[in-house]
Amino acid sequence: MASHHLNFTKAALLKAPAAKKGSKDYYYDEREKGLVVAVTPAGTKTFYLYKRIEGRPERLLLGRFPDISIENARKLATTAKGEIATGANPQKDKRAIRDEMTFGALFTEYLEKYSKVHKRSWAYDEREVNKFLSRWFKRKISSFDRNEIERLHAKIGKENGLYQANRLLERIRSIFNKAIEWGWQGQNPAVGVKKFKEQSRDRFLQPDELPRFFEAVANEPNEAARDFFMISLLTGARKSNTLAMRWRDINFASATWRIEQTKNGDAQTIHLPKEAMDILTDRKLASESPWVFEGSGKSGHLADPKKAWERILAEAGIEDLRIHDLRRTLGSYQAATGANGYIIGKSLGHRSQQSTAVYARLNIDPVRESVNKATEAMFKDVRKPTDEPPTKNAT
């Protein structure tokens, strides 16, 4: 933690660097006593008033910079100090109000002040909480206890699966943690509720399943879904990135696909093997949309094609296979054809502390060779006797 004193100006605060990981930096205004800006490792800058109230130091949240200006922050600090001088305790009043806050109001604040600001996956928070917890919205947050959270966790686990129950528990815990961080004096009712033990999934298309899978995909009437599944298999890209694939991100000359931002926040360049390029070339000739997989929904691109996936699995006689398992299938065949873990991680866009430095030194060439070998291995059992590549209808 570092402390600095300076005359607050917009330029000075904008230049203030992010704090070191695991700490916060504090900047004290030379003009308005007690006015402080706290800077997090993410670079978030928040105004507070530090003031001793009723014999103990208190920290009053004023707002985030630059959402509120320095001038308004100074005015808020002056007003709060005036209230304190008359015997009022803004912090106590604020806590009392929060004790009476409904879960719906808390979730709205959580979504706007935290989730949408810090999480690219905020839409999942909005969808899942509205789906499973909307009946809580009119209840006071002080009315919840651990037993109720445990019962809900068990119910969701039984009806919707262990993974869904655990993710919802994490969201509930995070929402109440933010309430505490923002001044609520209650106890987080999700603390102490144990998550279900999750098994790592290792499912991928087996060699005997691949010919049946390719045939079923070729017979799928929804052309966009059919091509989407094949591109998912051939690139190993995440479902969300593949659904939102744009023509402007594809380089037909170098046979590469540039994803500007993946789940882990990095950009990624994906090699496109010949089979993928054949599919994309055919789609490009017939496309008038910016999206590779055009859809009729609000996003403009194909939504989650669950019904087409169910039809394909039923026709192929394949059970317990998810769309995400196509991503794992490419990695599995890369491993089977001799690729090391770093190459596989590079092609799939994985990131870990141990391998990040190695990824930075890799270029597309070894990845290209590995993906080509894996693709050849997947298609070997469905090649024609003449060893010609399968036509689009065969893939």
Domain boundary among 46, 65, 89: 89
Same domain for 220 and 174?
Answer: no
What is the rounded distance in angstroms from the CA atom of residue 258 to the CA atom of residue 278?
A: 18
For 130-148, give the DSSP string.
Answer: HHHHGGGTTSBGGG--HHH
What is the rounded distance in angstroms from the CA atom of residue 85 to the CA atom of residue 65?
A: 26
Same domain for 110 and 250?
Answer: no
Same domain for 162 and 230?
Answer: no
Domain boundary among 30, 54, 89: 89
The answer to whether 18 and 38 are in contact (CB under 8 A) is no
Same domain for 109 and 134?
Answer: yes
Same domain for 57 and 146?
Answer: no
Same domain for 154 and 31?
Answer: no
Task: Tell me, yes or no, whether 228 lies in a domain.
Answer: yes
Task: Tell me, yes or no, whether 109 lies in a domain.
Answer: yes
What is the rounded distance in angstroms from the CA atom of residue 160 to the CA atom of residue 155?
A: 8
Residue 393, pLDDT score: 46
Residue 29, pLDDT score: 93
Task: Tell me, yes or no, whether 199 lies in a domain.
Answer: no
Same domain for 226 and 347?
Answer: yes
Average pLDDT for consecutive 10-residue bins of the chain (395 residues)? Answer: 85 92 90 92 90 80 88 91 80 61 92 86 88 94 92 92 90 93 87 83 79 93 93 88 93 92 75 91 93 87 90 91 85 69 61 40 57 80 53 45
Q: Determine the structural domain holding residue 318 and report its residue range.
A: 210-394
Same domain for 75 and 30?
Answer: yes
Task: Tell me, yes or no, whether 198 lies in a domain.
Answer: no
Residue 359, pLDDT score: 33
Same domain for 299 and 240?
Answer: yes
Residue 199, pLDDT score: 67
What is the rounded distance in angstroms from the CA atom of residue 159 to the CA atom of residue 174?
A: 23
pTM of structure: 0.49
CATH number at residue 30: 3.30.160.390
What is the rounded distance in angstroms from the CA atom of residue 230 to the CA atom of residue 275?
A: 9
> Residue 324 is encoded by which pair of tokens?
């995400």
Residue 325, pLDDT score: 87
Nearest to 340 by CA among 324, 358, 353, 327: 358
Same domain for 50 and 163?
Answer: no
> Residue 366 is encoded by which pair of tokens?
């070894």
Residue 346, pLDDT score: 60
Say how many domains are in the chain.
3
Task: Tell me, yes or no, whether 337 lies in a domain.
Answer: yes
Domain boundary among 164, 181, 198: 181
Task: Tell me, yes or no, whether 301 lies in a domain.
Answer: yes
CATH number at residue 327: 1.10.443.10
Same domain for 286 and 368?
Answer: yes
Task: Tell me, yes or no, whether 187 lies in a domain.
Answer: no
258: which strand partners? Answer: 269
Task: Tell me, yes or no, whether 197 lies in a domain.
Answer: no
Same domain for 177 and 227?
Answer: no
> Residue 15 is encoded by which pair of tokens?
């230049």
Residue 313, pLDDT score: 93
